[in-house]
């Protein structure tokens, strides 16, 4: 291979790499885990705290932040919901382009009325979702969310062990980011702004 041919070959290889990079666009610098290109099973389909059937497809055009929790949770769930409230405040006007969905992992106690009191108390735009035990279990499985009842003495009778991260979907309904429990509102807002 002549030296001139090697340089031409190298130039074409570099050009091809640049074209591929341009086509893919710049990599997003998410603080959370980038889920771009991953697929979940069936789209979320449950009933909201006003009794309306809801699917994740209902929110196309907005970013969706999905959190699985329960209203009797002593710490993790109210803390996460308060962090999401703060995130919305940090986003200002952009918060209107974001939909927070709280999916109960405890449908036996989290009735429509309980969700209607709990979820919008953090932000009136937030929506609580529930279903039958079987419907909730199916959705937990589709989103790879762990939830298990833990019997404990006391007035509530049991608590729920569960995954506590946030799933973020883009305006087309595709999964884009996973944020672990305890992520600061400033970091959540940072990642949401990158998608907006």
Q: Binding-site residues, please?
A: 73, 77, 162
Q: Confirm if 44 and 143 have CB atoms less than 8 A apart.
A: yes
Can you name the residues that pair with 166 across neighbouring β-strands? 67, 179
Are 162 and 147 in contact by the 8 Å Cβ rule? The answer is: yes
Bridge-partner residues for 169, per DSSP? Answer: 64, 175
> Annotated binding residues for Cu cation, as ranges?
73, 77, 162
Residue 65 half-sphere exposure toward CB, CA atoms < 13 A:
29
Could you list the beta-strand ranges (E) of the chain.
Answer: 33-34, 45-48, 53-55, 63-69, 98-104, 127-130, 147-151, 158-162, 166-169, 175-179
Query: What are the beta bridge partners of residue 127?
Result: 101
Nearest in space to 158 (alpha carbons), one of 102, 104, 103, 109: 109
* Residue 41 DSSP label: S
* Pairing, β 158-162 against β 53-55: unpaired
């Amino acid at each position: 291979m002549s030296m001139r041919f090697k340089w031409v070959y190298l130039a074409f290889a570099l050009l091809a790499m640049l074209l591929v990079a341009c086509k893919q666009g710049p990599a997003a610098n998410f603080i959370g885990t980038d889920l771009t290109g991953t697929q979940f099973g069936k789209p979320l389909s449950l009933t909201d705290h006003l009794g309306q059937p809801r699917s994740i497809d209902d929110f196309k055009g907005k970013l969706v932040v999905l959190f699985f929790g329960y209203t009797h949770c002593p710490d993790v769930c109210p803390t996460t919901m308060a962090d999401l409230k703060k995130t919305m405040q940090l986003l200002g006007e952009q918060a209107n382009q974001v939909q927070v969905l709280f999916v109960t992992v405890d449908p036996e106690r989290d009735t429509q009325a309980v969700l209607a009191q709990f979820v919008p108390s953090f932000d009136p735009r937030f929506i609580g979702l529930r279903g039958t035990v079987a419907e909730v279990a199916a959705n937990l499985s589709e989103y790879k969310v762990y939830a298990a009842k833990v019997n404990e003495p006391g007035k509530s009778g049991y608590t729920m062990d569960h995954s506590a991260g946030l799933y973020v979907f883009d305006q087309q309904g595709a999964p884009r980011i996973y944020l672990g429990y305890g992520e600061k509102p400033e970091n959540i807002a940072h990642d949401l702004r990158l998608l907006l």
